[in-house]
Amino acid sequence: MRRAVCPGSFDPVTNGHLDIIGRASRLFDEVIIGVLINQSKTGLFTIEERLEMLREATAPYENVRVASFHGLLVDFCRAQGAAVVVKGLRAVSDFDYELQMAQMNIGLSGVETLFMPTNPLYSFLSSSLVKDVVKWGGDASSYLPDNVLARLVGRLKQN
């Protein structure tokens, strides 16, 4: 079985993330979305909320599942039986960082990295950018799944 991991913090998941996940789901038998638990950062959404939003947003993909992890990505890949990490690249600046990570991952465990260029519709998109747009009353409906947009609007009204 060809299995891949799409890692990230997904705080929150955007349509750009979903584009990469959907395209990866056509290339691999199974795609595991790995939500990083980073105890040194406090996200807007809890890990449980991110997992739930991702499960809702990826429900149409029968070969995608969602899990959380902490520690090294390569250890998570090994535990999941995945030999490939799929990463979306928005710009050259993403490549510089991601190349270092890919080289470290292959050196540590032999896990390969597949770089997938982002759809130009989403090349500027980031979770932090959509949070700012919504915070200041802008329309982010083109950039987020409906379930995520509703939660984000609700969360930012509380703050």
Catalytic member of 23, 65, 90, 155: 90
Per the annotation, binding residues are: 9-10, 17, 41, 73, 87-90, 98, 122-128
Beta bridge partners of 116: 88
Beta bridge partners of 4: 31, 84
> Is 70 assigned a catalytic role?
no
Per the annotation, binding residues for ATP are: 9-10, 17, 88-90, 98, 122-128
Residue (of 130, 122, 126) closest to 151 by Cα position:
130
> Is 141 assigned a catalytic role?
no
58 Cα distance to chain centroid: 11
> Phi and psi (nearest 5°) for 87?
-130, 135
Residue (of 128, 104, 142) closest to 18 by Cα position:
142
Per the annotation, binding residues for substrate are: 9, 41, 73, 87
> Is 41 assigned a catalytic role?
yes
Catalytic member of 17, 50, 131, 151: 17
3-state secondary structure of 78: helix
User: Mind telling me the catalytic residues?
Assistant: 17, 41, 90, 127
